[in-house]
Amino acid sequence: MDLGYIPSFCTACYREGRTGDRFMSLCKTGQIQNCCHPNALMTLKEFLEDYASPETKSVGEKLIAEELGRIPKEKVRAKAAEYIENIHLGRRDFRF
């Protein structure tokens, strides 16, 4: 995270049935970024809330804040921010 990489614990595509041709069509059109980027941030937030040391949490929270601003679609960015706040409040299992 110190290098700007987002560790992702995401299993959303598998859980949503986005496998095989369905997954590949999202990849080929570039639409997968509307799923992967926010899902990576949300799974990172869950990890930070549940397992991270204070130091790791600090680095991760900063990265999440920076990366939220890089989500290109406003609607996706707003929903991801909402889900991340809900994760902070103890709710889990959000996904795009």
pLDDT for 5-51, tens place per residue? 999 899 999 999 999 998 999 899 988 888 999 999 999 999 999 99
Instruction: Locate 43 and state its tokens.
Output: 């799974």
Instruction: Compute the distance between CA of residue 96 and CA of residue 83 in angstroms, rounded to an integer.
Output: 10
Instruction: Locate 63 and state its tokens.
Output: 């990265």
The secondary element (H helix, E strand) that includes residue 22 is helix 20-29
**35: how many CB neighbours lie within 10 A of its CB?**
19
pTM recorded for the entire structure: 0.90
